[in-house]
A and B are shown apart, each in its own frame.
Chain A
Amino acid sequence: MKISTHIYNIGQGLKNIWRNKMFSLASIATMTACIFLFGIFYSLGTNFQSMVKTAEEGVAVTVFFDEGISQARIDEIGKEIKKRVEVKSYNFVSADQAWEDYKAEYFGGNEELAAGFAEDNPLANSANYEIYLNDVSMQPTLVSFLQGLDGVRQVNQSEVAAKTLTDINKAITIVSMAIVIILLAVSVFLISNTVMVGISVRREEIAIMKLIGAKDAFVRAPFVVEGICIGLIGSVIPLVLLFLIYEKVIEYASSEFNFLSNMVSFIPVETIFRTLVPISLVLGIGIGWFGSRLTLHKHLRV
């Protein structure tokens, strides 16, 4: 096609949006509603997952050593831990450090009570590695590995916390996936229906074009331009709304429920939108493009 024909078709597509104002508005409203709901569930799901992840990060596995173990062996165990894929980070807590931490936690303000232990560290056998995991569901694998290591006396783990967090994570993933899939299916259905109504209204126009020698691409182009524009507008509106609402909700939650800020941290709007914007635009434009192409197909067999 010539460049002037492309320009003409783009112009016609834009004019079509105006000529079929009601249909265009209905399509944009449908698309806006679907993408808005999608955005809400995406934001909620992502925030829940992030909260669970934060909770997971606090779950540690502690490894205690056999009595009289050499520092060289402790270092070797450290190297073996470092190699494991399950491990996000780990740190060595010496017996002295363990006692210092204990004193700070339990004798805070009453240091004289701990003075009696000055020359005799009651936690002499408490040197340990504190291991943080990449994924709390990997805890059992790591624990059984650690228990098999030579020089390891005891491995402390929080089995209940790990299992609960893993289960919550799994549930959030399944529920948000299911909601997103249902929403997408509903969007495609609603939007293709709206597009179909718009196209059947203009069946005569399409038939005339075909009868005077228009190629399929020429007939299709303005409809596709129209579909893409409607998709674009229908995804930009909910994104702007979500941006404003998200910021306001975080602001409100942080000021009204101050205690929440100690327990949970919301994902910043920029982080959410880094993924939400491309997904929504691709969805909106893709559905507009696909819907108009698919629905036109049968009308082109003239």
Chain B
Amino acid sequence: MIRLDHVSKSYEAGKPALEDVTIHIDPGEFVFVVGDSGSGKSTLIRLLLKELEPTKGKIYINGQDLRKVTHKKIPMYRRNVGVVFQNFRLLPDRNVYENVAFAMKVVECSNREIKKKVPTILSLVGLAAKYKSKPSQLSGGEQQRVAIARALVNEPKIILADEPTGNLDSDNTWEIMRLLDEINQRGTTVVVVTHNMEIVRAMNKRVITIKKGVVVSDVGGEDYED
């Protein structure tokens, strides 16, 4: 499903952000990627989204070598990878329904499909009643649920979440983690980048630890030690 073979990424100057990273994530797995700020976690997500190119090594997603995904083919590739950000990145001038529908419009779904699917997905994330609200009228947790609905609506095989609870209070953090777990139970591979050790310990999932761009441990939840 996700395979990184000896991947390194260096920016223009200084030490590499990632160095010789080899990771293999199976379909349907739930994986945490943890590490301090500047450890290279976000670089990993950006590489998986093909926002960045690795300096060395190969990345395969769903069996597809990302080096062979040209600029023109990137949109088709990204449609199979849902993404959730720490700062939600919703379109501020559109309401909840429009933000989710927008992701379907982008992939040229018909209006009929959109009308059928958006309410279903909003129910799944518990926001059916707030479909008319603008992002500014929602709490952080609700905004993140809209972002998850948007990431899910096109039924991607993988969800990448970059610090999804970074801007949320404790209650909302647990709500979002429960939602991501539920999505994973339905068969979607979920990769969560975080530095919130409390949720990592509580969720009992596989944990990959990155320090200064290097993978220092990759263990199952029960073996993880902070």
Contact = CB atoms under 8 A, between A and B. Distances in A.
Q: Do A and B bind?
A: yes
Contacts of B93: 19
A274 interface: no
A211 B108 contact: no
Interface stretch (B99-107, B166-174, B180-188): B99-107
A110 B196 CA distance: 117
Nearest to B93: A19
A218 B106 contact: yes
A79 interface: no
Contact of B78 (A1, A4, A212): A212
Contacts of A204: 89
A208 interface: yes
B75 A215 contact: yes
B89 A208 contact: yes
Nearest to A209: B106
A209 B89 CA distance: 10
B108 A213 contact: no
A163 to B, nearest CB: 61
Contact of A212 (B71, B76, B83, B111): B83
A149 to B, nearest CB: 71
A279 interface: no
Given A209-B106, A213-B154, A4 B111 contact: yes
Interface string A206-242: 0111111111101000000000000000000000000
A16 to B, nearest CB: 9
B79 to A, nearest CB: 4
Contacts of A215: 75
Contacts of A218: 106, 108
A2 B51 contact: no
A209 B99 CA distance: 11
A5 B78 contact: no
B105 A212 contact: no
A302 interface: yes
A98 to B, nearest CB: 80
A212 B51 contact: no
A102 interface: no
Contact of A302 (B51, B90, B91, B106): B51
Nearest to A15: B93
B91 A205 contact: yes
Nearest to A207: B89
A8 interface: yes
Contacts of A301: 71
9 contacts: A1-B108, A4-B110, A208-B91, A210-B75, A210-B78, A211-B51, A212-B151, A213-B77, A218-B106
Given A2-B108, A214-B106, 7 more contacts: A5-B108, A208-B89, A210-B75, A212-B78, A212-B83, A212-B106, A218-B106
